[in-house]
Amino acid sequence: MEAQTSAGLFGTSFQNSKLEKDMANNKEKFTAQQIADALIATNGMRTMAARQLNCDYNTVVRYIKKYKVCQDAENLSKQRMGDRVESTLLAMALGVRSDDGKKWEQEPNIASLIFLAKVHPTMRERGYTEKKEIQVRTWQDEAIDLIKRGDLDYQSLVDNYDESLAVQLFKSAGVPIDG
């Protein structure tokens, strides 16, 4: 007797009776390596991996959660894709010179250059951002740093402020109270 086929989400299909049997026997339809290979082949894109394997998207998600090899394959694929995007963007931003270096094969793309300057970590460190990231430090942060360096002692805090504040700051600094 043939199993019925039902259309699933994204055009994938599965056999109802086979799926029910596999679930009853708690057998996996795919090996973790098959899912990992599909993720690598599709640049870590889960929907495309599911389509390639002719399975449901949630099957791929379940394998990623369950098997480290699948998690690693997805992460590696996404990192590789990110590297390719960054390399392409860099080439677009800087342009490509001919072998003799005298003419442009591809002119620099100003929009790509500006975008790269705003998002690349090294350029962000140099201040090429749309908004400046500001680190806010409180007087407690400064006091804790002074305590850690040994420039502020417990008795000075007690004499000038109060003991509960001194205890709190020393505890936050992770420095034992001498006394």
CB proximity list for 177: less than 8 A, separation 6 or greater? 154, 166, 167, 170
Q: How far apart are CA 76 and CA 54, in angstroms?
A: 23
- Answer yes or no: are the C-beta atoms of 77 and 87 closer than 8 Å: no
Q: How far apart are CA 83 and CA 72, in angstroms?
A: 16
pLDDT tier, 11 (very low <50, low <70, confident <90, very high otherwise): very low
Q: How does pLDDT run across 94-139, given as a tens digit for each residue?
A: 777 767 767 767 787 888 877 877 777 777 777 767 666 677 888 8
